[in-house]
């Protein structure tokens, strides 16, 4: 009995010693280094004004009689302002901050709160809905930018940390591992997501995903959930994708993406066998747009694209991501499987349309709540005007002034405007708190005062 007790005691001591010798993962230094770079972002979207159909006919007559545009009175029919919250992180000492596009979407006011509790009004430099990346800027001193890592060096099973503001709880830290890389999600063709099991909840959006060296490897962006909350699946935009978008927004005010002009589908085992491929791989071309770069390169329906610029196409998801990352106008080598053999083609990559971002010349925060688009020459001729831009949306100060979607802004004061850049330039008048916008609505034109502060 004594002998058995001694053996049990020795085994227990051995197990305890072994347990004490195992070093648990310590995140304290990493968190201390990274939290000064993480910010809280709050947004305000003003309530929308009433539409014309909400204004009683008798009131419209008063507007018309006195030569006033048919706009609702201040506060008439207006909804309550909507507030939102998210996270972001400082990428440069001069105040540039990365976050998600959906965090600042439609915002009339964006406020950034730093780790040291300082608060600043932020300017939306631009946002790209396709990748869900936005770049904002504050003017502040003593900022601590993050260190940028290399997502390609991440390994599945590696520890990662998410820092953000879930449900408004500042600087919350959660840990997990990389569950997968290059993950594709429905309707997301241009982002090879990093999948993790780090807890991400509402308010975490836009916050950094960090490796164990304290480097940002991704932007926490999405979760997959049946409940609306965290269920073990979170997805981050690789930081190299986000930085590419950010650099383009800063340099050009827009994001350019390459375009081939093909429709594709996944190659499963049955299709691979029917086309004589040894294994399922590539992107099967189901349609080639006439006159497109793909058409000019000689791509045909039923071709299977196996390589693009010497990069393998393992799944059809790989192709739009690689093409989109190609600079428009450059040439790309394409390897296709056609009639039982490979062929080499060369395409001059085009530029995808509708890639304009909300930027310095059309972001609501820069244009008093106005989102506008240029008019075509035939539209101006039909309207009988020589200049003007179409108001696509009005919020904030513009909505409070009574400007509505569908209005035509012909001039600011006596300065004619023909595009968003003209309008932004005309509104940026130092020392002036109010400007007069010449608005055409229906058959009538009148000046509307717009406050800028």
Q: Which CATH number is 61's domain given?
A: 2.40.10.10
pLDDT at res. 80 = 65
* Least confident span in 42-51, 81-90, 147-156: 42-51
140-166 pLDDT tens trace:
999 999 999 999 999 999 999 999 999
**What pLDDT does 367 receive?**
65
Secondary structure (3-state) at 404: coil
Residues 244 and 184 in one domain: yes
Stretch 172-187: mean pLDDT, rounded? 90
Examine the domain organization and report whether 425 and 392 are in the same domain.
Answer: yes
How many angstroms separate the CA atoms of 106 and 161, rounded?
29
Supply the CATH number for residue 295's domain.
Answer: 2.30.42.10
CB within 8 Å of 425: residues ≥ 6 apart: none
Integer Cα distance of 266 and 338 in angstroms: 16
By C-alpha distance, which of 98, 226, 213 is closest to 164?
Answer: 98
The stretch 73-102 carries a mean pLDDT of: 81
Same domain, 108 and 164: no
Same domain, 152 and 123: no
Residue 26 lies in a domain: no
From 200, 228, 252, the end of a domain falls on 252
Q: Is 102 a catalytic residue?
A: yes
Query: Is residue 233 domain-shared with residue 321, that is, in the same domain?
Result: no
For residues 409-429, average pLDDT: 82
Q: Is there a catalytic annotation at residue 316?
A: no
| Mean pLDDT, rounded, for 308-337 | 93
Q: For residue 37, what are the domain limits?
A: 32-137
Indicate whether 108 and 151 sit together in one domain. no
pLDDT in tens, 292-304: 999 999 999 999 9
DSSP code per residue over 221-261: EEE--SSSS--S-EEEEEHHHHHHHHHHHHHHSB---EE--
Query: 151 and 236: one domain?
Result: yes
Spatial distance between the Cα atoms of 255 and 189, rounded to a whole number of angstroms: 15
- Cα–Cα distance for residue pair 137/40, rounded to 1 Å: 13
pLDDT at 238 over 90: yes
On whether residue 281 sits in a domain, the answer given is yes
Q: What secondary structure letter does DSSP report for 170? A: T
| pLDDT of 27 over the 70 cut | yes
Least confident of 73-77, 235-239, 300-304: 73-77
Within a domain: 172: yes
- pLDDT surpasses 50 at 74: no
Range with the largest mean pLDDT of 47-51, 150-154, 248-252, 435-439: 150-154
* 246 and 262 housed in the same domain: no
Catalytic, out of 179, 205, 246, 365: 205
Supply the mean pLDDT for the chain.
83
pLDDT for the residue numbered 434: 76
Nearest to 218 by CA among 245, 241, 185, 250: 241
Region 34-51: mean pLDDT is 81
Question: What was the pLDDT predicted at 79?
Answer: 56
Sign of CA dihedral 306, 311, 314, 319: negative
H or E element at residue 120: strand 119-121
Q: Which of 351, 375, 398 is the last residue of a domain?
A: 351
Which entry of 46, 128, 132, 303 is annotated as an active-site residue? 132
Confidence of residue 21 (pLDDT cuts 50, 70, 90): low
Which of 78, 76, 3, 16 has the alpha carbon at shortest distance from 46? 78
Parallel/antiparallel/unpaired status of strands 215-223 and 147-148: parallel
Both 226 and 317 in one domain: the answer is no
- Is residue 99 domain-shared with residue 157, that is, in the same domain? no
Distance set, CA 39 to CA 97, 138, 208, 246 (Å)? 9, 11, 10, 17
Residue 142 within a domain: no
Same-domain status, 416 and 441: yes
- Distance CA(434)–CA(453), nearest Å, equals 8
For residue 31, pLDDT beyond 90:
yes
Band of residue 386 on the pLDDT scale cut at 50, 70, 90: confident
2 lies in some domain? no
Q: The pTM is what?
A: 0.67
Q: Is-catalytic flag, 132?
A: yes
Helices then strands, each counted (H, E), the chain: 11, 29
Identify the domain boundary among 336, 351, 366. Answer: 351
Judge if 46 and 92 occupy the same domain. yes
- Tell me the pLDDT tens digit for each residue of 324-359: 989 999 999 999 999 999 999 999 999 987 444 433
Number of domains within the chain: 4
The confidence score (pLDDT) of residue 35 equals: 94
CB-CB neighbours of 47 under 10 Å: 14
269-288: average pLDDT: 92
27 lies in some domain: no
Residue 306 lies in a domain: yes
| Inside any domain, residue 339 | yes
């Amino acid at each position: 009995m004594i002998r058995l007790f001694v053996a049990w005691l020795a085994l227990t001591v051995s197990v305890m010693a072994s347990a004490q010798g195992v070093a648990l993962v310590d995140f304290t230094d990493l968190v201390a280094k990274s939290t000064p770079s993480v910010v809280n972002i709050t947004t305000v979207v003003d309530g929308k004004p009433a539409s014309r159909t909400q204004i009683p006919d008798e009131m419209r007559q008063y507007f018309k009689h006195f030569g006033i545009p048919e706009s609702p009175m201040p506060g008439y029919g207006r909804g309550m302002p909507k507030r939102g919250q998210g996270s972001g992180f400082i990428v440069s000492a001069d105040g540039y901050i990365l976050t998600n596009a959906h965090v600042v979407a439609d915002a009339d006011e964006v406020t950034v709160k730093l780790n040291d509790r300082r608060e600043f009004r932020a300017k939306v430099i631009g946002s790209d809905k396709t990748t869900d990346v936005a770049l904002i800027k504050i003017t502040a001193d003593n900022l601590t930018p993050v260190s940028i890592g290399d997502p390609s060096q991440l390994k599945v099973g590696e520890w990662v940390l998410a820092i953000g503001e879930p449900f408004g709880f500042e600087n919350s830290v959660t840990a997990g591992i990389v569950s997968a890389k290059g993950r594709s999600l429905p309707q997301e063709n241009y982002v090879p997501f990093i999948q993790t099991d780090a807890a991400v909840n509402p308010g975490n959006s836009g916050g950094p995903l960090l490796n164990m060296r304290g480097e940002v490897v991704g932007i926490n962006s999405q979760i997959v959930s049946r409940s609306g909350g965290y269920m073990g699946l979170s997805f981050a935009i690789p930081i190299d994708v986000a930085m590419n978008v950010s650099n383009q927004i800063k340099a050009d005010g827009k994001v350019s993406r390459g375009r081939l002009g093909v429709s594709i589908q996944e190659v499963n085992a049955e299709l691979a066998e029917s086309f004589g491929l040894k294994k399922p791989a590539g992107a099967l071309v189901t349609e080639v747009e006439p006159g497109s770069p793909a058409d000019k390169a000689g791509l045909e329906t039923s071709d299977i694209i196996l390589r693009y610029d010497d990069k393998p196409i393992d799944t059809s998801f790989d192709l739009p991501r690689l093409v989109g990352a190609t600079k428009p106008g450059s040439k790309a080598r394409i390897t296709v499987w056609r009639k039982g053999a490979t062929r080499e083609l060369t395409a001059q990559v085009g530029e995808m349309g509708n890639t304009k971002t909300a930027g310095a010349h059309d972001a609501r925060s820069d244009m008093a709540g106005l989102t506008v688009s240029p008019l075509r020459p035939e539209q101006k001729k039909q309207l009988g005007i020589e200049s003007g831009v179409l108001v696509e949306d009005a919020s904030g100060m513009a909505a409070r002034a009574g400007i509505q979607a569908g209005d035509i802004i012909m001039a600011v004061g006596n300065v004619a405007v023909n595009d968003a850049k003209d309008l932004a330039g005309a509104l940026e008048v130092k020392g002036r708190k109010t400007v007069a916008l010449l608005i055409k609505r229906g058959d009538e034109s009148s000046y509307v005062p717009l406050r800028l502060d």
